[in-house]
Amino acid sequence: MALKGTKYRMLTLIRDALNESNLIDVYPSRPAYQQNDYIGTPCVTRTKREATKQKRLKQLLEELEGGKLYMNMKWTKSRAF
């Protein structure tokens, strides 16, 4: 399924954090809408305060590492039939 609306480009800040955390290969395994949400919504890139940006970036990394959350909600990878 294609994304509707704006597709956001990954910022260096997020790419660097994914590389440093060895999660750069995990990120593409998430659905396109999640990848886009993590980048384009107020989650990380649109925050004004640096402390908030770092808090949300940390949450993104923890969710990718754990593999069971998306935006603090339970998430499981669906299987193709």
pLDDT of residue 13 exceeding 80 = yes
pLDDT value, residue 80 = 53
Bridging pattern class, strands 73-74 and 69-70: antiparallel
Res 1 pLDDT > 80: no
What integer best gives the mean pLDDT of the chain?
A: 85
Q: List residues bridging with 74 in a β-sheet.
A: 69
Confidence check: pLDDT of 58 > 60: yes
pTM here is 0.80
Report the pLDDT value the prediction gives residue 81, as an integer from 0 to 100.
Answer: 40
CB-neighbour burial class of residue 49 (10 A; exposed 0-12, middle 13-18, buried 19+):
exposed
